[in-house]
Amino acid sequence: MITAAAIKRMMARYIRWRGLPKTPRHSPLRKPTPWPPIICMACCTPNPTEAPNAHPLITLNPPIQQADGIAITWQYSDSEGDASTVDLYWTDFQWTFLTPIPDANDLPASAGSFLWNQDLPEDYASRRIYIHAVIRDHNSYLVGRATTDHPVLVLADCSDVIQYNLALPGDFNQDCYVNIDDLVHWTEDWLTNYDPSASGSGITGSWNFREDLSFAANPNGPWSYGASPHAAPPAAPVTTTFYPYNSSFTESGSGAPWWHYDSSHPFYSSAIVPCLYYNNTSGSVYGCPAGMAALHSGITSGSEAIAVVRWIAPASGTIQISGTFYAGNSGRCDYYVIYNQIMVLISELDTYNQFSFSLNINVSTGDTLDFGVGAGTDGGSADTTPLEVEIAAPTCAGLGDYLKTDINQDCIINLKDFWIFAEQYLNYNNPQDSDCSLMGP
Ligand SMILES: [Ca+2]
Ligand SMILES: [Ca+2]
Ligand SMILES: [Ca+2]
Ligand SMILES: [Ca+2]
């Protein structure tokens, strides 16, 4: 049994060891010295000048059954470019979970592939086996992980190869051979240039709703700010009636610049919604973070108004539109992108979640694009919705849809593609070919 005297002796030894003064006397005039806290010294003191090392990331391609085993391939990245290693496991998510694959530990991540040909499960061809990878850079405390989306693929013929997007880059006619037939196909596209910048489109430059925002003029270049009465049902709004805001002011509570209506306007409301404002403060303004611009729906004379930001095409051509309606405040809202005031390109109804969009469309000079926020089913309170919109002529990379013969995806068919094709020439990956190797020539 530990006695009070024993505890006192232990405390005295502790004090001598720490080199601290003995237990002070307690008195109303003398504040008791607290017991020294257990302080974790250098181990837990972060160095603010030292950036944390990020763990590497890995993605696995579908594992493929070959005649000599299972081909496992991957891509990886590490923010600091650290040399990384990969450990591989297999699982069927039922009876076996994360069993190490023989000789598949500490693999150089840069290798990008591993052929599993030892101790394969007897029934692996019919059993749905997934591959799991753990990647570490030996600097970060954390590891990256990934599991294949597909179980091991057993490719019976070329159609399976095509189905799983495993066609060789130079196999333009998708017959699982890279040969003279593909060369003929490639020459037909020789020097084709489909980069949007080469199309002579009248759309040049780019526009950003928040960066272009002005409280001095409305309209402001191609932008105008206002509201439209909501047409029922919410899924089919029209903005043919559009009232531009005619009053800008500094809101007394927040100090933020604001667009609304003067008191003579039928959409005027003492609640100053519908509106558009920019948060130029360092804190949140009604749910709009600092540095962002927000729309707020409104209820005017008992009916809903959609807060609208309108962009009018200054020229004809293809444009790429991208942006996000952010969650903002707590109210439910309807989000819209409306073309020429009647065609709803995008709608997300009665939500308080963030919603992003991206699309390409052709416009003619004078066409309108409206980005709108409606009130949702819970009325027009607490509907602040920060908005980001970017409009620009599409780039080659923004197309995301390339000709097969454009192997390097730079929107022109030229010698750069030919060199890649030449490296692929006479390769094949037809599973029905007895000499086929699906990992290479
Ligand atoms: Ca790293
Ligand atoms: Ca071919
Ligand atoms: Ca609402
Ligand atoms: Ca190219």
Task: Please give the tally of structural domains in the chain.
Answer: 3
C-alpha to C-alpha distance for 132 and 105, rounded to whole angstroms: 12
Q: Residue 15 has what pLDDT?
A: 41
Q: What is the mean predicted confidence (pLDDT) over 363-391?
A: 94
Classify 350 in phi/psi space as left (phi over 0), alpha (psi -120 to 50) or beta. Answer: left
**Would residue 211 count as lying in a domain?**
yes
Of residues 428 and 368, more confidence is placed in 368
Res 281 pLDDT > 70: yes
Band of residue 33 on the pLDDT scale cut at 50, 70, 90: very low
In the reported structure, the alpha carbon of residue 441 is separated from the centroid of ligand 1 by a whole-number distance in angstroms of: 33
Q: Residue 51 has what pLDDT?
A: 58
In the reported structure, the alpha carbon of residue 425 is separated from the centroid of ligand 4 by a whole-number distance in angstroms of: 17
Q: Residue 439 has what pLDDT?
A: 46
Q: What is the mean predicted confidence (pLDDT) over 406-435?
A: 89
Q: Of 163-177, 211-225, 412-426, where does the model show the most confidence? A: 211-225
Do 77 and 145 lie in one domain? The reply is yes
**Would residue 27 count as lying in a domain?**
no
Q: Residue 228 has what pLDDT?
A: 95
Q: What is the mean predicted confidence (pLDDT) over 382-399?
A: 89
Instruction: Kindly identify the ligand whose nearest atom is closest to the C-alpha of 195.
Output: 4
Do 276 and 186 lie in one domain? The reply is no
**Which residue in 334, 317, 316, 313 sits closest to 325, CA to CA?**
334
C-alpha to C-alpha distance for 240 and 246, rounded to whole angstroms: 18
C-alpha to C-alpha distance for 292 and 93, rounded to whole angstroms: 45
C-alpha to C-alpha distance for 113 and 60, rounded to whole angstroms: 10
Do 252 and 327 lie in one domain? The reply is yes
Res 393 pLDDT > 90: no
Q: What is the mean predicted confidence (pLDDT) over 44-52?
A: 49
Q: Residue 261 has what pLDDT?
A: 95
**Would residue 48 count as lying in a domain?**
no
Do 326 and 254 lie in one domain? The reply is yes
Q: What is the mean predicted confidence (pLDDT) over 382-395?
A: 93
In the reported structure, the alpha carbon of residue 420 is separated from the centroid of ligand 3 by a whole-number distance in angstroms of: 55
- In this structure, the chain runs to a length of 441
Classify 74 in phi/psi space as left (phi over 0), alpha (psi -120 to 50) or beta. Answer: beta
Do 101 and 69 lie in one domain? The reply is yes
In the reported structure, the alpha carbon of residue 311 is separated from the centroid of ligand 1 by a whole-number distance in angstroms of: 43
**Would residue 31 count as lying in a domain?**
no
In the reported structure, the alpha carbon of residue 416 is separated from the centroid of ligand 4 by a whole-number distance in angstroms of: 6
Q: What is the pLDDT of residues 235-264, one digit of tens each?
A: 889 999 999 999 999 999 899 999 999 999
State whether residue 2 is helix, strand or coil: coil
**Would residue 300 count as lying in a domain?**
yes
Do 353 and 389 lie in one domain? The reply is yes
**Would residue 197 count as lying in a domain?**
no
The answer to whether the CB of 248 falls within 8 A of the CB of 257 is: yes
Do 215 and 171 lie in one domain? The reply is no
Domain CATH number, residue 120 = 2.60.40.10
Mean pLDDT of all residues in the chain? 85
- For 260, the domain range is 206-394
In the reported structure, the alpha carbon of residue 179 is separated from the centroid of ligand 2 by a whole-number distance in angstroms of: 6
Q: What is the mean predicted confidence (pLDDT) over 154-171?
A: 88
CB within 8 Å of 435: residues ≥ 6 apart: none
In the reported structure, the alpha carbon of residue 383 is separated from the centroid of ligand 1 by a whole-number distance in angstroms of: 41
Instruction: Kindly identify the ligand whose nearest atom is closest to the C-alpha of 350.
Output: 3
In the reported structure, the alpha carbon of residue 427 is separated from the centroid of ligand 2 by a whole-number distance in angstroms of: 9
Do 211 and 267 lie in one domain? The reply is yes
In the reported structure, the alpha carbon of residue 141 is separated from the centroid of ligand 1 by a whole-number distance in angstroms of: 9
pTM of the entire structure?
Answer: 0.59
Q: Which two tokens stand for residue 181?
A: 């037939």
Band of residue 436 on the pLDDT scale cut at 50, 70, 90: low
Instruction: Kindly identify the ligand whose nearest atom is closest to the C-alpha of 409.
Output: 4
Ligand 2 ion: nearby residues, β-carbon < 5 Å: 171, 173, 175, 177, 182
Q: Residue 346 has what pLDDT?
A: 94
Domain CATH number, residue 319 = 2.60.120
- H or E element at residue 159: helix 158-163
Ligand 1 ion: nearby residues, β-carbon < 5 Å: 53-54, 78, 80, 82, 137
User: Mind giving me the DSSP string for 332-371?
Assistant: -EEEEEEETTTEEEEEEEEE-S-EEEEEEEEE-TT-EEEE
Q: What is the pLDDT of residues 295-322, one digit of tens each?
A: 999 876 667 899 999 999 999 888 999 9
In the reported structure, the alpha carbon of residue 196 is separated from the centroid of ligand 4 by a whole-number distance in angstroms of: 14
Q: What's the distance, Cα to Cα, between the start and end of the chain in Å?
A: 78
Do 230 and 331 lie in one domain? The reply is yes
- H or E element at residue 11: helix 4-18
Band of residue 400 on the pLDDT scale cut at 50, 70, 90: confident
Do 256 and 304 lie in one domain? The reply is yes
21: preceding bond cis by omega (within 30 degrees): no
Band of residue 374 on the pLDDT scale cut at 50, 70, 90: very high
Instruction: Kindly identify the ligand whose nearest atom is closest to the C-alpha of 404.
Output: 4
Band of residue 100 on the pLDDT scale cut at 50, 70, 90: very high
In the reported structure, the alpha carbon of residue 373 is separated from the centroid of ligand 3 by a whole-number distance in angstroms of: 9
Res 14 pLDDT > 50: no
Res 49 pLDDT > 60: no
CB 110: neighbour CB atoms within 10 A? 10
Q: Which two tokens stand for residue 135?
A: 């990647």
Res 135 pLDDT > 50: yes
Q: Residue 58 has what pLDDT?
A: 97
**Would residue 3 count as lying in a domain?**
no
In the reported structure, the alpha carbon of residue 79 is separated from the centroid of ligand 1 by a whole-number distance in angstroms of: 6
Instruction: Kindly identify the ligand whose nearest atom is closest to the C-alpha of 192.
Output: 4
In the reported structure, the alpha carbon of residue 410 is separated from the centroid of ligand 4 by a whole-number distance in angstroms of: 5
Q: What is the mean predicted confidence (pLDDT) over 169-176?
A: 92
Do 259 and 162 lie in one domain? The reply is no
Domain CATH number, residue 428 = 1.10.1330.10
Q: Residue 314 has what pLDDT?
A: 93
Q: What is the mean predicted confidence (pLDDT) over 161-182?
A: 91
Q: What is the mean predicted confidence (pLDDT) over 174-200?
A: 88
Res 156 pLDDT > 80: yes
Sign of CA dihedral 75, 78, 84, 85: negative
**Would residue 12 count as lying in a domain?**
no
C-alpha to C-alpha distance for 52 and 433, rounded to whole angstroms: 50
In the reported structure, the alpha carbon of residue 144 is separated from the centroid of ligand 2 by a whole-number distance in angstroms of: 37
Of residues 363 and 34, more confidence is placed in 363
Do 165 and 213 lie in one domain? The reply is no
